A = this chain, B = another copy of it.
């Protein structure tokens, strides 16, 4: 008769659930190694934690040795709650406290664990229930649903096609400052004019400008666009 551990929610648990959710979004199961990379900890530490998360009652994840982790409904619900916190905080810092969009991520990373439901409600209200954060990432609703949108990776856009920038990656402040300088931000219209060969840069016309902008292939992986319809302005 083994003991049935209680489902304690520590900061570490939240970080794991968020990481697993984001990895799953990017495609498939979250492997031990990928979680370790994302959280910047040793793979061995991840194994131990995954075992614990799966053994909680009720469990946060389903875990099989050598096969990585998948969130349970409960785990996904919790992950979405944290992501909602994070993105609402980012929006609040940007719109109300004058943070630039390259400054919000780190601050939100700390605050997302500390705020109450009341705080969440108040800032959501103050912002008018936004659907996306300053980088264009969708904000999960209170009920756990996600604003659906029709978006593709920048690299999948066809030459000659127009699109609205829907979101950019929020991880690297330096990249965000570069995007700022270029005028690349969610809501901006662009047209893919030319695709250089050998995975070279994409030449795009931003917001009807006369000049073209070259976007390196690697950087384009950090940009998503809505190919046809209008998208939400953040």
Q: Residues on A close to B: CB < 8 A?
A: 93, 97-99, 103, 106-107, 110-111, 113-116, 118-119, 122-123, 126
Contact = CB atoms under 8 A, between A and B. Distances in A.
Nearest to A109: B114
A110 B123 CA distance: 17
Nearest to A106: B116
A119 B103 CA distance: 11
Contact of A123 (B97, B114, B115, B119): B97
A123 B97 CA distance: 7
B116 A114 contact: no
Contacts of A103: 118
B122 A97 contact: yes
Given A97-B126, A106-B116, 7 more contacts: A97-B119, A97-B122, A103-B118, A107-B116, A111-B114, A113-B114, A114-B114
A189 B97 CA distance: 35
